[in-house]
Amino acid sequence: MPDKKHLRGMCDMSTPFRIGIAGLGTVGAGVVRIIRKNAELLEKRAGRPIEIVAVAAKDRKRDRGVDLSGFDWVEKAGDMATRKDIDAVIEVIGGSEGVAADLVRASLENGKHVVTANKALLAHHGYELAQLADEKGVCLMYEAAVAGGVPIIKALREGLAANEIKSIYGILNGTCNYILTTMRQTGRNFDDVLKEAQAAGYAEADPAFDIDGIDAAHKLCILAAIGFGVKPDFDALNIEGIRHINSTDIAYATEFGYRIKLLGIARRENGKILQVMEPCLVPIESPMGIIDDVYNAVYVEGDFVETPLLTGKGAGQGPTASSVVADIIDLARGHRLPAFGIPARDLKDAVWADPGETMNSYYLRLMVIDKAGVIADVSAILRDKNISIEGLVQRGRAPGQPVPVIITTHETRHADMMEACDLIEKLDCCVEKPRVMCIEEL
C-alpha cells in the first residue's frame, strides 16, 4: 500500500491548482507571463486550470513588463506558507539562507508543495528539505535549479530511473562557457571578455559565483545526489574556477586538439564517488567540445543506457521560467516524486573519492626564464614523480626572458602531479605558479 502521507494533496481535477509566487524578478515575472499567455494550453496539459492567487516581491511599484492585476499582493512572502487558498508556493527569490530558506521550510511544514529554482538552497539544505517534504507528504520540485531549460532533473529522476548511474558530466554555467568561447574566438584575455560579458548581461557585477565555479558546483551537487542516491554534500566538492585561464592556454589547447571547458564531473571510482568542478581540456569534436557560448550540456551514463547529450540555454527568463511551469504542471496533474528520486530516508552518506588518488592525463603550462637547463630541470622533477611526458612545446627564443612551456602528460596520479607542480614552482627559472588542467577524453 502507498504511504498515506504521500497521498496528501492528491488533486481534485475539477478545481484550479492555486499557486503563490514569491519573487518577481526575471524568473518570477517570466512564470507569470507564461501562465497568462498559455493558460488554455496549460489547462489542457495539467487537466485543470492553473491559477495565480498571490504574489510577493520587495518593490511593488517596479514595472516588470507583465500584468500583475488580479493577484493578491502579499507584503511578507512567508505569509504564503499558511494561506489556505494556495496549493503550491513558487520560490524564485534565491539565496541559500534568509527569506527564501525560511519560506520553503514553512511552506513544506504547512503541507504545501514547493517549486523552486534555488540551487544554492538545495545544495546546502536539500537533504533536510527532502526529509521535511516526505514527512508532510508534499513535493519539493526544482527542475529550473539546474541548467535552465534543459530537463536534466526529470531525465535523472524518471527517464533514467531503471539505471544505476555510472557518471555525470556537465557544462553547467553559461557565463563561463561564454567567456571561454569568446576568448577562443577573439584571442582576447580573460579580463576584457569578462567585462564584455557583464555589459551584455551574461555576468553579474560581482561575477565570483560564476567564474569561481560556485554556481556550477551547486548544480553538480544536486545532480550527484539524484544520480547516486546520496545526501547532497556541497562541502565535499573540489571546486576550481576559470580566473587563471589565459589566451595562451586557449591557443595551445586548440593546437593540441582540445577545447577548455568548466566541467562538472561526478562518477563512480572504485566503489567511491568523485565529485569535482574544474576547467578541463576536452576533444574539439567531442559532444562537450562543440558546446559554445551560453549553452549548458549534460551527459549521463547508466549501466544500461548512455544518454544523448542534453543541451540548451542554462539561464534567462524563458528557459528558467519554462522549467518552473513544467514542475507546476506536474503537481497540478497529481504527479508526485521524492525530491531526489528516492525517499529521503534512503539517501546515503556518500563515500567520496580522494581527488588526489584519481588518474588523469594533464595539460601543464609553465612560465620560465629562457635559459639552458630549464627543460632538463623540469623533466627531472616529472621523472621523479613518475610522470611521463606525452607532448612538449616551446616556441621562439627570448634569452633571459619569461617564455611559456606547454607540456601534456600521459595518465598519472593527481597527487603526484600536484607535488611536481609545487617543486617546479620553487625552481629559480619559474616566474609564476604552474597552471595545470585535467584532460578528459570524453
Catalytic residues: 219
User: DSSP for 359-393?
Assistant: EEEEEEEEEEEB-TTHHHHHHHHHHHTT--EEEEE
How do 165-171 and 258-269 pair as beta strands? Answer: antiparallel
Place of cell 519554462: 322
Among 249, 240, 279, which Cα is nearest to 406's?
Answer: 249
What span, in angstroms and rounded, lies between the C-alpha atoms of 185 and 13? 53
What does the block give as the cell for 384? 621523479
Q: Is 61 exposed, middle or buried (0-12, 13-18, 19+ CB in 10 A)?
A: exposed
What span, in angstroms and rounded, lies between the C-alpha atoms of 220 and 274? 11
262 contact partners, CB below 8 Å, separation of at least 6: 171, 172, 173, 176, 177, 180, 213, 216, 241, 242, 277, 278, 279, 280
What does the block give as the cell for 42? 496549460
